[in-house]
Amino acid sequence: MVQQRLTQRSEFEWEIAPVGAMRVPAVFFASKALIDAMDAKVFEQACNVATLPGIVQASYAMPDAHWGYGFPIGGVAAFDAEAGGVVSAGGVGFDISCGVRTLHTGLTAAQLERIKIPLADALFEHVPAGVGSTGTLRLNDKAMDAMLGGGAQWAAEQGFGSAADLERIEEHGRMSGAVPGAVSAQAKKRQRDEMGTLGSGNHYLEVQRVVEVFDAAAAAAFGIKVDDVVVSIHCGSRGLGHQIGTEYLKEMVVAAPAYGIHLPDRELASAPIDSPLGQRYLGAMRSAINCALANRQIITHLTREVFARITPQARLDLLYDVSHNTCKVEEHLIDGRPQRLFVHRKGATRAFGPGHRELPETLRAIGQPVLIGGSMGTSSYILVGTKESETRAFSSACHGAGRAMSRHAATRQWHGRNVVDELAARGILIRSPSLRGVAEEAPGAYKDVSAVVDAADAAGLARKVARLVPVVCVKG
């Protein structure tokens, strides 16, 4: 078994040295307990990623890593186009730019307690959630292409936010280099009625209470303190992103041999970055990133409408928005010199440290907020990128707890109604169109998010700032 080659670099860092077709080592950031709990496929997939052409430094896995499609979820890898590097649709994933944004409310826990039942009901009624959910927005061909090119900037221009929001979003709300023409008609058709919807699976809209602060300076810079109430929105590019992933994976599998790419796993389907196929995929993927940014922006607008109706004193300012499941062009120091790399993060969060030029001026001195979503009914965390994190895994950190069992296994162990009732007894209100979906996302189906975050902090990937607990959760 491949994990038998695992050696320990330090308390929270492990390595599988290159062997066979591996071009670089596979490196894992985790505690021993998390390493022991990882399924064998994670180690195999991380080593497979290390065989891809043009990979730089290492194939990395975050503390929440678990078996994914091609790359492990929680996998990070960077590629150099000038060295024949590739872009991998499997290294981005199907839910392109799935991510989290967190909003201040200006409310305290005591104020929330008085309104949480009508608030939960109103959010569930106003924000579409669940499999096949559709919104009130209908995009024609012209509007679809404008959205795919403009992202959250387009959404704000349509009245779903303001310029102030854009300053707190990666890429200032718009991913450059998007090519809507590289997105198929079928992908666009799937998204035409889905803007402003949460979707299903682990996506959610959650009203949370700050219960613990670990870093007072960073918390003050982020404008949060104990007993504050925030809202976190977790969703992505819906049907459009999934269709793009499906189509380009098939095309890359067929094209790989012609490009001289040997795939140890078909799910690692890739194309050279500088190839016509690689460029088309990047244009489509960037369009999907914009779709996800616009989607979260519209859901933010819907959320603001609900709060304005239920509790007008709430302000709903954006703290930050981070994406998972992306490939982005970034400059990183390799052997002491800056290098332009295509960084794949699949189920991983960018974690830029203080002073980074891509951060808004209001956050540049402290570093990037890193938003770590918990599973339904468990804690979420806010972390901050550090200078050290820039040297660890291309400024990357974990993105959540990571599944400990499949959705099918979860439904054998839990019943949705029981999960809802148990969480209600703890003061957590769940609203969902699907009790089966609730069972699939039961808190026990996930790893211990606190253990994952502690490992990320100890490994130097990002520093803990605050812990949040759910009060209301609208679940897809």
- CA-closest candidate to residue 267, choices 440, 44, 467: 44
**Antiparallel, parallel or unpaired: β 99-108 and 228-235:** antiparallel
Q: Name the residue type at position 339.
A: Q
Q: Is residue 209 within 8 Å of 203, Cβ to Cβ?
A: no
Q: Which of 242, 324, 356, 399 is flagged as catalytic?
A: 399
Instruction: With beta carbons less than 8 A apart as the criterion, state whether 378 and 350 touch.
Output: no
Q: How many CB atoms lie within 10 A of CB 264?
A: 17
d(CA 269, CA 348) in angstroms, rounded, equals 20
Please report, as a single letter, which amino acid is at residue 199.
G
| DSSP state at residue 359 | S
The answer to whether 399 is a known catalytic residue is: yes
Which amino acid, one-letter code, is at 154? W
**For 438-459, b where at least 16 C-beta lie within 10 A, e where not — what string?**
bbbbbbebbbbbebbbbbbbbb
Q: What share of the chain is helix, strand, coil (3-state, %, to 5)?
A: 40, 25, 35
Neighbours of 104 (CB within 10 A): 18
CB 452 within 8 A of CB 73: no
Active site residues: 399
